[in-house]
Every structure is written in C-alpha cells, then in structure tokens.
Amino acid sequence: MSKEVKYEKCANADEAWIAVKSHITPELIEKFKVKADVDYMEAQKKIKAKGKGFELNIDLLDDRARAEIKLSLLLKPLKGKILEGIEKQLKRVV
C-alpha cells in the first residue's frame, strides 16, 4: 500500500529532501510501536526504514513524495495508522 503527497511547500525534490529527512526519524517510527533502522540515501532522494516485519520506503520525486509500506502479518492491523501518520508528517513539511 502506498500514499502520495504533492509538494505544496517545496518546489522540488532537493528542497523536499532537506525538509523530510529531519522529520522522518527513528523516533517517529517508534511512535507506531515498531523498531526500525532508518537509512537516508541522499543520492537517490530516498528514505528506507527497515525492522522486523516492517519496511517503509519514501521516494522524493520531482513533484511529489511517495511512501510505501510493507508489514508482516502481525503488524498488518497497524498499516492504516502508520501510513496515516507518515502522510501527516509529509503533508506538514512538503
């Protein structure tokens, strides 16, 4: 499942990268009761968070940010809540 957020406060992926990398943090992920390591790939304008049964990919494209999440069977009930929280953070900064 994925969500897309069009840029309203940022003009392009470079500006969005600066804004998003300071808001999508391990602490944010922990709010959803999920432990994950967050990897910031600046060259690709991508953020990847991976933990046991959890994988989040955020791609910063030219005009929008796309968040995609994959969860294990045990975490599936949290999918909507996690995506909603990520989307809220993205809308706040991009």
Domain CATH code at residue 11: 3.30.160
Average of pLDDT values for 28-51?
90
Please report which helix (H) or strand (E) contains residue 61, including its range.
none
The model's pTM: 0.87
Check residue 32 and give its pLDDT: 83
Check residue 58 and give its pLDDT: 94
Distance CA 86, CA 69 (A): 10
Confidence of residue 55 (pLDDT cuts 50, 70, 90): very high
Long-range contacts, stretch 82-86, CB < 8 angstroms, 24+ apart: 82/32, 82/34, 82/56, 83/1, 83/3, 85/28, 85/31, 85/32, 86/3, 86/24, 86/56, 86/58
The count of other CB atoms within 10 Å of the CB of residue 31 is 11
Confidence of residue 6 (pLDDT cuts 50, 70, 90): very high
Q: Is the pLDDT of residue 85 over 80?
A: yes
Counted domains in the chain = 1
pLDDT tens-place string over residues 31-40 = 888 888 999 9
Instruction: Using DSSP, state whether 68 is helix, strand or coil.
Output: strand
Structural domain range at position 55: 2-93
